[in-house]
Amino acid sequence: MTSFYAQYGTFAVLVVVGCALYAVIMLASRIMRPTVPSPQKLTTYECGVEAVGSGWSQTNIRYYIFAFLFVIFDVEAIFLFPWAVIVSDLDATTAISPTFAIVAMFLFVLTLLEGLAYAWKKGVLKWD
């Protein structure tokens, strides 16, 4: 069995080897890449349109709300799949009854649906 410090030593060696490998790869890339500077390479690339004005613009809060709602329902899906697998194994001999598990998930889904209904009522889901 390895000692406590030997485990950290192994980790430190792996970190050093990883950093050295990264440095070697970056150096090899810099040496082997072709460098042919030209005025054409300094022109605007993205969409081919010159930028007008400043790069700062205000983003509508609805984008963040949509992202937040997506995360909420994504987390719901993450909880539903393992629950569906486990609930089939529950019976009278297990510590948690199947009825309790079904009621708990029903309340969880109802809470999320309540939040969705609130967002819908407030008009957050309208896309103008």
> Domain residue spans in the chain?
1-35, 61-121
70 or 40: which leads in pLDDT: 70
The secondary element (H helix, E strand) that includes residue 111 is helix 98-121
Give the pLDDT score at 22. 97
pLDDT of residue 47: 65
Instruction: State how far the alpha carbon of 2 is from the alpha carbons of 5, 8, 17, in Å.
Output: 8, 10, 21
Two structure tokens written together for 100: 């309790």
Query: What are 12-29's pLDDT values in tens digits?
Result: 999 999 999 999 999 999
Q: What confidence tens digit (pLDDT) does each residue in 49-107 have? A: 666 777 677 777 778 888 888 888 888 888 888 888 888 888 878 888 888 888 988 99
Place of tokens 């949509």: 66
